[in-house]
Chains A and B, each alone.
Chain A
Amino acid sequence: MSPQQGQQIDLTSLSAQQLSQLKKQLDSELEHLTSSFQSLRTAQSRFRDCLKSIKTVEAQKESGTEARYMHRRTKAHPHLIPLTSSLYVPGHFSHIAPSELSLEGTGSEPELLVDVGTGFFVSKSPKHATEFYNDKIKDLEASLKELEGVINAKGQNSRVVEDVLRQKVLAGQGGGSGEGKEIEAS
């Protein structure tokens, strides 16, 4: 990747042209990493949204339980189901409705279908689904931390290279001095 990681190279020994090339390479790496960072962040916030949705479903279930003795349809928070982007109809989750639960009599928790990737879905209880998403978020957090470190290091490298390059240009000796020295970037 970056030459600074493999061999130590005295930046001042490079010519202005080599330096600007190095800078360009570092910048493009930095850009790539930053965009990866962004997409990880979006993925993470999507998982957070999933968690929020589970909570909403759970809240619905609880309010449904309270409303057991009342009329279910009027008490339990209805949801608005989008038919088009501007037309909604009220609805409620039928499979977590308390009456159905008690009808089954198994005491089993309501099931959610979780997309685990590559086109597979696994049915999970809200508790397990929450765990699943929390794990995902934690994994992403670790990757984000790691990536942040790399980005900072790269940014530092890029700044140093820029500094040396500026000094070179200011000193007016760019071009000639570093010729013949191999740049070991790969």
Chain B
Amino acid sequence: MGDQKKLQELSDEFQKFQAELQSIVDGRQKLESQQQENDSVKKEFTKNPNATKFKLIGPVLLKQDQTEAQMSVDGRLDFIEKEIKRVEGQIKDIQTKSEQKKMEIIQLQSSIQQQSQGQAQAAQA
């Protein structure tokens, strides 16, 4: 019975890891889409360096010059890149952890199975 309880605990932990992984992966996807959006804005800026640019701040459109706009987009891209690296690290971390838990669970399961088989054989004999 102790084994069953331990198995339950392990699988709970495993599920927790999975949920955590899911939410981090969601965050990763969001970062990806933000990166794409900023990339397209950057492309747009480099294509039309002389066009008048405005930045939406709250409900107002503020005029911005090229260098300022370029800089803020570059800054965002930098930040997003760093975030992506950080989140990738987290994902790897959680993946290895949950993989470990999975192995533990499989080991425990097979040992339980062997025990019950052994008992069944003993009962037959």
Contacts and interface: CB of A to CB of B under 8 A. Distances in A.
Given A113-B61, A116-B41, A122 B56 contact: no
Given A113-B61, A128-B48, A120 B56 contact: yes
Contacts of B31: none
B79 interface: no
Interface in B15-57: 34, 37-38, 40-41, 44-45, 48, 51-57
Contacts of A116: 40-41, 44
A119 interface: yes
Nearest to A119: B56
B48 A122 contact: yes
Contacts of B53: 120-123
Interface residues of B, number: 20
Contacts, number: 49
The interface size bin for chain A is 10 to 19
A118 B33 CA distance: 11
A117 interface: yes
A154 interface: no
Contacts of A128: 48
A124 interface: yes
A119 B58 CA distance: 9
Given A117-B40, A120-B54, A121-B54, 11 more contacts: A111-B52, A117-B38, A118-B37, A118-B38, A118-B73, A120-B44, A120-B69, A121-B56, A121-B61, A122-B54, A124-B48
Interface of B: 34, 37-38, 40-41, 44-45, 48, 51-57, 61, 64, 69, 73, 76
11 contacts: A113-B61, A118-B76, A121-B54, A121-B61, A122-B44, A122-B45, A122-B54, A123-B52, A123-B53, A124-B51, A132-B44
